[in-house]
Amino acid sequence: MKRFAIATTAIDPAALREGLRDPGAGGFCAFEGWVRNSNEGREVDGLEYEAYVELAIAEGERIAEEAIARYGVSAAHCVHRTGDLKIGDMAVWVGASAPHRDEAFRACRYIIDEIKHRLPIWKKEHYVTGETSWVACSHTYREHEHEEGGHPHHGHAHHGHAPAAPFMPDYSRQMRLSEVGEAGQARLAAARVLVIGAGGLGSPVIAYLAGAGVGTLGLVDGDRVDASNLHRQTLYDARDIGKPKVELAARRVAAINPSVQVRAFAEPLHAGNVVETFAQFDLVLECTDDMRSRYLSSDGAVLSGTPLVLASVYQYEGQLQVVDPKAGLPCLRCLWPQEPSPEAVGSCVLSGVLGPVPGVLGAMQAMEALKILLDLPRPKNATLALVNLLDNTIQHLGMDTTAGCAAHGGCTHQARAALRRAQDQREMDLSFHSLAEAVAAGFQLVDVREANEIAALPLPGVPSRHVPSGEIAVHAQVLRNEGRYLLICASGRRSAHAVQRLRAEGVENVYSLAGGLAALSLRKAS
């Protein structure tokens, strides 16, 4: 008989109870696990269980058999839910019937403890704040480990499998290093590290930091796995295509080291939350391929005082920089004050890259992270490392800390101004699926393109007024008085600029169509 099952729909305890009836049974005991509304002080409004089903069923079956052998119960059964659950839903049901009550109680307790400890089931909590977090279900206090002798404990050796040993992380190889030891390992366990980007750089970073036993790993990534990622993003495999990277990465962490607590962020950070998010971590690693994210991270590190390890790659080479505001190390803006245009910086998509290049740079980032967390010796001078993997050279270019931001009010001043600009832009830029949607939302449309552009590509079937962006200031008075206005141009650049000018004149009810008409036609195409 199958003694363990995974259920994707609601569990029916009455039917399960009937299944355990036995003429020789004098007692029946059941345990139900329910979804509650908080965990470790955080308000939860639901959760999601995900299981490695084949393995969970095999292991669950083994646990039920162990309980029967160990306590001599007549029958035992367990069902675990997967999928989305709400507060109050039943997540797990365990039942045992036995000649006497004591065995039934003990068997129930044994099964639920072992299930929590051994099954490859992950819990994703949805917090009321909108965040989510993957929690590996492990580290349970197991009553039966503390049972005294005299129970039919010896019996199980004759009944197939001995209970699998619970997973205990073994850090002996790194703790053997005199610079690490127990004190160092405790520092790692207490550390909270944020990894932004779970791609080519993030893959080695996440794997090494999880393996090293960093206590809390925050993971940020809004992308899904694409087949073109697999040559360099070693966290994933062909079955993962189309799935969200952050969830896969969180699961990978739980698989490498279940003792690591994962906090998953499925949306990129932005100017409005980067500082407060960084402040919740001891160290940040920037592993995206996105220049805007790199500047945002640099600004966030400067303003929160959190050290940041930056890396990026181009074809056969990479750059590595540690930003440490408290140690007086320069930021990204000290080198390149303004975010360069996307065309100037290249990307893996446009320029190509060999897989091991982000692998090497990511491993170097992980190494810097461990050195910082363990307070190991590292270069004290401000440098940018240029790693060339064709001729295998690393050049350290020294930075003059009095140049860069220092000559323009300092890193903090520059970062604060940049975040304010990005925040203003964020608030002014609105995205819509169509112009009709904007009209339905109560916006009046203002086309700020030139007359010849409009003639070539008129707005499709929606009312709009035409004010060329160069003349926008003249119309400030009119726009001030009525409704809400959405300014539109081809790319979103001129309309954003026009909105900035109007806002400077005190006109608050104006917004810019993010990405312009180009973004709308892109949406239509996809």
Partner 1 sequence: MALVNLQYYAQLREQAGTGSEQVLTGAASLRDLYEELRARHGFSLDAASLKVAVNTQFCAWDRLLRDGDTVVFIPPVAGG
Strand-strand pairing, 42-51 and 132-136 = unpaired
Nearer to partner 1, 305 or 398 (CB): 398
The one segment of 30-38, 333-341, 372-380, 461-469 that binds partner 1 by CB under 8 A? 333-341
Nearer to partner 1, 26 or 398 (CB): 398
Is residue 189 near partner 1 by the rule CB under 8 A? Answer: no
The one segment of 92-100, 282-290, 440-448, 487-495 that binds partner 1 by CB under 8 A? 282-290
Is residue 435 near partner 1 by the rule CB under 8 A? Answer: no
Q: Token digits for 132?
A: 């989510």
Cβ 393 to partner 1 shortest distance, Å: 10
Which residues make Cβ contacts (< 8 Å) with residue 279, sequence separation at least 6?
A: 304, 305, 306
Cβ 409 to partner 1 shortest distance, Å: 18
The one segment of 5-13, 172-180, 299-307, 332-340 that binds partner 1 by CB under 8 A? 332-340
Is residue 318 near partner 1 by the rule CB under 8 A? Answer: yes
Is residue 348 near partner 1 by the rule CB under 8 A? Answer: yes
- In the list 15, 168, 344, 474, the residue contacting partner 1 (rule: CB under 8 A) is 344
Give the rounded distance of the alpha carbon of 167 from its chain centre. 24
The one segment of 42-50, 158-166, 290-298, 493-501 that binds partner 1 by CB under 8 A? 290-298
Strand-strand pairing, 38-39 and 261-265 = unpaired
Give CA torsion, residues 232, 397, 364, 342, to 10 deg: -30
Give yes or no for a contact between 365 and 321, defined as CB atoms under 8 angstroms apart.
no
Give yes or no for a contact between 327 and 392, defined as CB atoms under 8 angstroms apart.
no
Is residue 317 near partner 1 by the rule CB under 8 A? Answer: yes
Cβ 269 to partner 1 shortest distance, Å: 15
Nearer to partner 1, 259 or 315 (CB): 315
CA distances from 379 to 2, 376, 385, 386, 402 (A): 60, 10, 11, 15, 18
Nearer to partner 1, 353 or 499 (CB): 353
Measured distance CA(46)–CA(132) in Å, rounded? 10
Is residue 222 near partner 1 by the rule CB under 8 A? Answer: no
Nearer to partner 1, 31 or 314 (CB): 314
CA angle 308, 184, 199 (to 5 degrees): 40
Is residue 406 near partner 1 by the rule CB under 8 A? Answer: no
Give CA torsion, residues 411, 417, 419, 423, to 10 deg: 180
Measured distance CA(53)–CA(120) in Å, rounded? 8
Catalogue the E-assigned strands of 128-225: 132-136, 192-196, 216-220
Cβ 414 to partner 1 shortest distance, Å: 16
Q: Token digits for 459?
A: 């707005």
Cβ 194 to partner 1 shortest distance, Å: 15
Ranges within 45-84 binding partner 1 (CB under 8 A) = none
Nearer to partner 1, 90 or 382 (CB): 382
Give yes or no for a contact between 321 and 378, defined as CB atoms under 8 angstroms apart.
no
- In the list 133, 174, 277, 288, the residue contacting partner 1 (rule: CB under 8 A) is 288
Q: Which of 290, 328, 326 is nearest to 311 (CA)?
A: 290
Is residue 358 near partner 1 by the rule CB under 8 A? Answer: yes
State whether residue 63 is helix, strand or coil. Answer: helix
Is residue 388 near partner 1 by the rule CB under 8 A? Answer: yes
CA angle 476, 477, 479 (to 5 degrees): 65
Is residue 347 near partner 1 by the rule CB under 8 A? Answer: yes
Measured distance CA(138)–CA(117) in Å, rounded? 4
- In the list 335, 376, 454, 462, the residue contacting partner 1 (rule: CB under 8 A) is 335
Is residue 248 near partner 1 by the rule CB under 8 A? Answer: no
Which residues make Cβ contacts (< 8 Å) with residue 450, sequence separation at least 6?
A: 468
Measured distance CA(30)–CA(455) in Å, rounded? 74
Nearer to partner 1, 60 or 359 (CB): 359
Per-residue x/- mask for partner 1, residues 109 to 138, rule CB under 8 A? ------------------------------
- Give the total of residues touching partner 1 (CB under 8 A): 43
Is residue 312 near partner 1 by the rule CB under 8 A? Answer: yes
CA distances from 396 to 308, 316, 375, 379 (A): 18, 17, 21, 10
- In the list 303, 384, 448, 499, the residue contacting partner 1 (rule: CB under 8 A) is 384
Is residue 12 near partner 1 by the rule CB under 8 A? Answer: no
Region at 235 (left for phi over 0; alpha for psi -120 to 50; beta for the rest): alpha
- In the list 400, 427, 437, 471, the residue contacting partner 1 (rule: CB under 8 A) is 400
Tell me the longest C-alpha to C-alpha distance in the chain: 93
Q: Which of 88, 79, 84 is nearest to 34 (CA)?
A: 88
Is residue 353 near partner 1 by the rule CB under 8 A? Answer: yes
Is residue 230 near partner 1 by the rule CB under 8 A? Answer: no
Bridge partner list, 48 = 84, 124
Bridge partner list, 393 = 388
State whether residue 405 is helix, strand or coil. Answer: helix
- In the list 396, 421, 465, 493, the residue contacting partner 1 (rule: CB under 8 A) is 396
- In the list 66, 103, 125, 290, the residue contacting partner 1 (rule: CB under 8 A) is 290
The one segment of 6-14, 187-195, 308-316, 458-466 that binds partner 1 by CB under 8 A? 308-316
* Residues making contact with partner 1 (CB under 8 A): 197, 199-202, 287-291, 294, 311-315, 317-319, 335-336, 340-341, 344-348, 351, 353, 358, 384, 386, 388, 390-391, 395-400, 403
